[in-house]
Amino acid sequence: MRTILNLIWLVLAGFWLAVGYVVAGLICCILIVTIPFGIASFRIAGYALWPFGRTVVDKRSAGAGSVLGNIIWVIVAGWWLALGHLVSGIALCVTIIGIPLGLANFKLIPISLLPLGKEIVPSDQPFATR
């Protein structure tokens, strides 16, 4: 079931959302100071491309730097990406078949706003609990 949902997701929303994250990552990597944001954006692009079967957990080693980085990220790129997830999530929830995909979009909003200090892990692993 996970694979079927991921394939439908890839066609309907995942590809374009991943392209948005890759563009944000490239822009962040061009500016030398924001390379950590670019790396986080590339990591989330993979998650946005294939989200079912994975989840986001807090990274225990994250410190004050990730909080400061998240504040900068929200101002620079995070709210644009979260808005993309919100709009596509609402559009997908209009149909019955699209409801799980819309919920997956809503699940991606917190990591699109605050990506630093988070880790993407398989959801069937024991360390995936919050």
pLDDT of residue 89: 92
Q: Considering the entire predicted model, what is its pTM?
A: 0.80
Mutual angle of helices 99-113 and 79-92, in 10-degree steps: 170
Q: Which two structure tokens, joined as six digits, stand for 87?
A: 């709009």
Burial level of 123, CB count in 10 A (0-12/13-18/19+)? middle
Measured CA angle at 80 (ends 77, 86), to 5 deg: 140
- What does the pLDDT look like over 26-74, one tens digit per residue? 998 998 888 888 888 998 999 888 888 888 888 777 777 788 888 888 8
